[in-house]
Amino acid sequence: MAIFYAPNINHEAILPEEESLHAVKVLRLTAGSEITIYDGIGNAFQARITLPHPKRCGVELLSKTEAPLPMARIHIAIAPTKNIERIEWFVEKATEIGIHTITPLLCQHSERKQIKTDRLHKIIVSACKQSKNPFFPVLNELSTFEQCIGTAQEPQKFIAHCYEQDKKQLHTELKPNTDVLILIGPEGDFSEEEVMAAIKAGFIPVTLGNTRLRTETAGLVACHTANLVNG
């Protein structure tokens, strides 16, 4: 059964224009066709198309299923890569695995200093549909490193870097069922000043393994590790 995204479906039984176009013109669904609708906050609706209009497709809601809330929220703050396709890959795969917040991070060594979050949001929507995940991760706007560490509220906070310092293994430090924020740096890594500032702000320096990982790979490893710890 086809899955659609409509964040306001509880208030208006109409699919957004882009979803309406896909349903009517691409999938050629007609009145009476049954579909699934996600609102992005954990609710899945079974619905029936009543008005197959390519701009405002009307539906009748038949039933609602609420997914259980996650035991812990995983937040990855990651520096966008120079090649935008690599960070798009991270967003897609992390969404499929299960991530709750993504913050693009502007660091001293960042090669990419701007990012289009609307494109990343579309990737999130597509990945949630594909993986049948009714919880859509929050995608924040580009944040400076200082803003990120200064406003972090998670009880677990880690910074993954490549300097030869005393670091813990992420998987041994993670506590199950506890919200976590993990910082992943750019291709040139965090600066030493950034690492020290994060440690001063309560972040624990960690390693993700014995090999040097690309930025997007490190982000995905961190996300997957946190998901494994949380079962």
Contacts of 93 (CB under 8 A, 6+ apart): 127, 220
Domain 74-229 top-level CATH class:
alpha beta
Note whether 161 and 215 are within 8 A (CB): no
CA dist list (Å): 57 to 18, 22, 45, 49, 83:
10, 10, 15, 7, 37
CATH topology (fold) of 3-66 = Ribosomal Protein L25; Chain P (2.40.240)
Reading the block at residue 54, the tokens are 């390519």
Domain residue spans of the chain: 3-66, 74-229
CA dist list (Å): 200 to 13, 87, 221:
50, 28, 25
Per-residue pLDDT reduced to its tens digit, 27-73: 999 999 999 999 999 999 999 999 999 999 999 999 999 998 888 99
Per-residue pLDDT reduced to its tens digit, 161-210: 988 888 899 999 999 999 999 999 999 899 999 999 999 999 999 999 88
